[in-house]
Structure formats: structure tokens, C-alpha cells
Structure 1
Amino acid sequence: MDEFSRDVRLIRLPRWGHVSANPGVVPWLVFDEEGRAVEPVRRYLIDFVARYNRPGSVRSYAFDLLRWWRWLRVVDVPWNQATPAEGRDFALWLGATVKVPNAARTVSSATAGTINPITKKPYLDDRYKPRTIRHSNAVIRSFYTFWIETGDGPLINPVPLARSERRRPHAHHNPLDPYRGEGRLRYNPKVPRRRPRQMSDERWNELFAALRSNRDRAIVALAISNGARASELLGMKGVDVDWGDQLVRVVRKGAQAEQWLPASAEAFIWVRLYQSEGTPLDPQAPLWWTLRRRDHGAGLIHQPMNYEALRAVFRRANALLETNWSMHDLRHTAALRMARDKRLSPRDVQTILGHAHLSTTADIYLVEDEEQVIARVQEYLADVKERAALPPPSPAIGYEASALDVLFGGELA
């Protein structure tokens, strides 16, 4: 088939292969239909793990590469013969196709792709978002960069850079700023920039009242106190709670560095109430446990709480409130509250949020509140209307009318 006649809208990817956990050094691998690990992907992921990337990142990369492998099978192109034409068409396909879910939508079928009237947040639909496409492009480019460097793979990367030939990389780099990528990927879509919204006190009280257990109240109270991420809070152990100084220790998502964060007195009260209900108190054990005991081969025992269990907590609360709040909304709310408090500097907010660069904090959170801007503009427009209805001021005695007409263009006539 001619590469320019490929109609990506008609392409449907097969259910070829799968991603599964692996007991070896690489925690996740891509397997073919016969259960064998895909060798080029396996070798790349070994190098990826050796660069101390987190297991969650390995899993994410494996799924992106599985989708790319399925695409290559449909277009009948070997992985080491892919060209920018395949990378281009794959990006076009991601932007045009509709995902085939593992199970049909039930309750969410009526809200998919709509805007929640309470939170003003969109519900997810069945299309690939621009950030997903950009991540996929970055993964594929990294995979082929690895094989080009080894000398055993292709000579061309199917995801090229869009860098202009007239610009030299880092030509105007500020020595005080970190080096960034040399250029944007050619087939990356633009990402619409959405400003984070602060949850009002009324909405926060509604969400908190909808929670069913002291464990859930303790988690969200900690999140609204210091803006810690869900994965950071779920990774806490009993020893990570400093009751005397009212601090909690988390392992940061990106740098994997330990950091002590302050929390409100109310959050510690809910943590104590949760622990008084009979949860394991071993300082070296996870802090958060499931409320119900489950049998995973060792009898009925409590299990450490994971991210899916936390999502279920929000699903129940959202179903009751008809909202679509998430843990990240609590992080946004905590960050905006701190950023708009005059007692805290931007550096303070950056440190608590765990951002590597102050520019990240400033670009996201040190912005004007849209609701306050709208209120000020509405006040301005009402004031303009009132001023227009007033008669023009009378000039002081002693000025000639002809001179004032020339000076003010006849406005005082």
C-alpha cells in the first residue's frame, strides 16, 4: 500500500499480545500471543530500568510499546523498518480513533465527554487525549533512540524532531535554568492549558461529609493540608508520622527523595481516630489498610491500601454528590490556598509541593484567580455604564470654549 493512501480512520488494532507483571529485574514486559516476551522491547526496558525509573513508569512504557507493536502488525511493517511515515500515521490514528474499552460503559455512558455542572471539570471520553499522544510519541522516540545508539537497530527514528534548521540547540540558554529538550517532536499535538481550580469551602465540606470512614477522612485531610500526591500518601508507613511536631514523611514521586511535610491538627486527629479502630500499628508496616479483610491465599487478612482502593473511595463520594472530584483536586486546592496567602513565599510553596523548579510552581499556581478577575471586570463594566450616564463635567470659569473643544475634541461641548 502506498504510504500516502493509508486511511487511518479505517484501522482497528487487534487484541494482539499483552502486558503482564514479570518476577525478574524488569517488573513489566510485553508478551506476544504465544506468551513470549517481545525481545526488542525487553532489551529496551532493561536499559530503562537500569536508569532507575519507577515500576509505574515501566508499566506505562510497556503499554505504549504494546500499542505501537499492534499498529505495526496492522500496517505490516517490521519494527526495525518503521519510518516517519508510520510515526505520522500512528499519531493521526491516535487523534482520530475511538478507544475500544475492555468493558462497555454503564453508569458513565451518560456523562462521558460532558462537563460536570458542579465541579466544572470534564468527564473522560473514549478518545486519546493530547497528553496521551505526546507521551506515546516520547516513548516510541526513546525506544528507537536506544536501538540506534546500540548499532543493532534501524538508522532512522520514526518520531523525528520538529527543530528548525535555522536555530542552534540551546543558542539562547540561560545558565541559571536547567537544560531542556532540544526540540519539540514533530507530530506532537498542542495541549490546551487549563488553570487549576480551587475547591470552595462549601464543596470541600460536602466531599468530606460524604466519606464513610475515618481512614478516608484522614487521607483527604492530609492531602488538603500539604498537597501531597495520592501515591506519596499511600506509600507512608507508621514510622512516617511525627506526632510531636505534626509532620508526615513522604517519598516524592519524581526524585524519590524523602521529605517531611507539615499537616493540620485536624488531619492528625483523624489519623488517630483511624488507628484506634484496630488497624495494624507496626511502625514499619504501611499506614493505610483496607477496611475489609480479603483472602489472597493466606486467609482473611487486611491488605495494604492501593490506588485503586482510593479511587473507589472517590467513586462512592462522587456518586452521592453527582461530582467528579479526584485526589489531584485536593492538591490543586492546597497549592492555591498556600500560593494566595501572603505569609508564604513562592519558594515555600515550591518546597511543600516538591517541584524541582520554581518556574513550575509559578506557571501553574501563581496566577490570578479567574473568579476574582471576572468580579473585578464586571465591577469595571458596571462603573463604565454609570459614568456614561452622567453628564460631562463643566469646565472651570475662565477657560475659552473654543480652546477646550480643540483640546478635548469637543467632548465638553
Structure 2
Amino acid sequence: MKPSRRKFLAVTGSAAVTSVAGVGSASAATPISNVPVPDNTSQMYPVMGTDAENPTATVYGNFKCPFTQDFVNNVLPDLVDKYVMKGKLNICFRTISFEPYGRGKTHGTQSNAFISDSDPKISATHLGVWEEDPESYWKYFESMFAGSLVSGTVTPEKLKPVMDKTGVDNPEEIVARVNKGKYDSLVKDSHESALDLKIEHTPTFEIADSTFVGPKPEDLSDLVSFIKANLSKADTLLPKEDSNDVSSGESSGSASGNATNTITFDGSSAKGWAKYEITVSGEFKQDRSMDSSIEDSDVIDGSTASGGVGPWKDTFAYTGEITDLTLTQPIDVLRNDEPVDLEKLGANIKSETEKLNVKSATDSEETTQVKNAISGACSRQ
């Protein structure tokens, strides 16, 4: 049986390869293709692990980056056995498709693509595989990094044979969704998340907002020490469903008393991806009431919380009063599980910000880009 998966964002709308010398394949007790997927995961991005509420680390990579390939084949299997299979850590994979804002060149070109103009579509395709068939995702992922990397102009259609080979459900539907732009906003969100973390290279291993750049096989012991040093901090970023702080109705240090309320953003009626930003006079804590999800992309910054919903719910426990609320489209909002009038809340409805206006690198430039990479990581500089 396939793991249960929420479906999000309304549907809108054999690759050429080149050898990469020196990239081998590690023999591990647990192949990447056999890693567990949390049955109750609420992640929009691919995640391996035994339980959705385990501490979570994120690998930022690129499917055309040979250093990401080296990490996947020769470092990740050790982390799987040491942490993932033992339920100590989940690992999420996100891709980088664009250069940072404001940079004029990509490895000597006049482009804002990371490695080539195929990057966004390759990234969107892996998200489509994850949404449609999470049970087969890691087989697809392993195949993408096995042997030779994809190169040249890579379209979703050219990735369909990889989906067929790894048993992914409904590859034609995935291709159609990618071509209609269903996952474009998620590809952009990964880019922006990497910007927030000041990530310049792939692969980069992130846990609790701390980063380890370009982990190679010889860096494994240092990477393990890095994980150990940050693991307890990662745990605090993922509140448990039965959190005493939330269920007791108390929040320490509140500026406006100890009474705790909940605010729920229900995206069931959303047209695609609805984003929100809310500010209160007190404090926030994420909450799982009303079967709500908890996402890495949901952010609490002091007295302000922000995130996005599709056909699911995000809930926050908060103290104090709501002082500001902005939505990108009208959606159902509930206070203490009861619907509220957006007008009475003073909600400000703003249209979604424009998509990235980027000029992509030509695929013929990718060899130069890889040659210009720093030792151990593909570079965004």
C-alpha cells in the first residue's frame, strides 16, 4: 500500500547522459531505494524516515551536480544506516535551480540558472514523483544518481523512462503536471530557502539552520560530529502533537497574558497555493490540532508566523491579540476551531508575488559550470 499523502496545489497547467569520472557507488546495508517513508508525512518535499515527527535534516542538491552524486552514493547510505533506519533523524532532499537574486553571472555566463536551463523542470519532476508515488520516490532518486548523470537539455518527457524503470505510478500525469507549472512555486521556495540559509554550493547538509558544505566520503566523521552537535536543536523545531506547552494553554514570556488561542488556515478552498502572514502581540507555537500539518516552510519569527496551504490546514497556538493578517487569496480561517470573518479580522488580501524573472543558462554551458565548481561542491558563485 502506498503511504498516505495529502494532495496539494490544483493541477494548473531517455535523457542524454555524460560520464562523471571518479564517482562510485557505496555498498550499504540499506540501499537508498529501500529507505522508509513516514506514513503520516506532511512534507511537500521528499523525506526519508521512520516517523514524520523525527528531527529533520535537509540536503540541498542538484541532479546535474557530480558532487551531489558523490554524496548520494558514498555518504548518504552511511547516514541512512546510522540515523534514518534507527529513527534518530529524517532526511529531506531539496534542489537548487537558480543563482541568488542580483547576481549577474553564473560561472562566467550571463544567466541566473544554477547549472543549466533544465534545472527547474528536473526539480519540478522529482516533486511530481514524490507527490504521486512517495513509495517509489527513493528508487527514482537513486536511479537519477546511479552511473551517469543526466545532461544536455532534459525535459520531463525525457525523465519518463526513469519513472517507468523505477515503477513510479502515473508518469504521464506527472509529466503533464510539470509542463503545466504545478510545482513551479515549490521549486522557487527551495531557492528562497537556500537564500535564507546563505547556501552557495551543492551539496549542502542543513540541520537546525546550521550548514555543512560539500560533505565528501572523507568528511563523514566530521559530518557525524556536526549532526550530533545540532540534533537536539533540530528536535525543538518540530513540536510534538501532545506538546504540553500547547495543550496546557500556556506560553512563557507572553507580552499579553497567558491565555492561548489557536488560529487555523484551511486551504481546502484555495486555488493552488495560498500564502499567509500573521502577527500577534504575544507568541506563536505550531499546533497539530484539527489534523493540521507542520512544515519546515512554516516560519515563526518572533511574533509573526508565515507559511502556505493547499488543500490542508496549518494551525498555530498563540497568545495576545491578532494585530495583522495578510493572505494571498481568501481562504477559510478558524479561531479556536470556529470560522471567523476575514473582514472582522482586518485581513489584507494581496495577490501572489510575481514569479522569478530569470534568464537560464544554456545546457551547453554546464560543463564549464561544473569545471568552475569548488572542490567538493557545485558552486553558486
| TMscore range, shorter length | under 0.3
Q: Which has the higher contact order (CA 8 A, sep 6+)?
A: 2
Q: TM-score, normalised by structure 2?
A: 0.22
Larger Rg: 1
More strand by share: 2
Please, what TM-score do these two structures have when normalized by structure 1?
Answer: 0.20
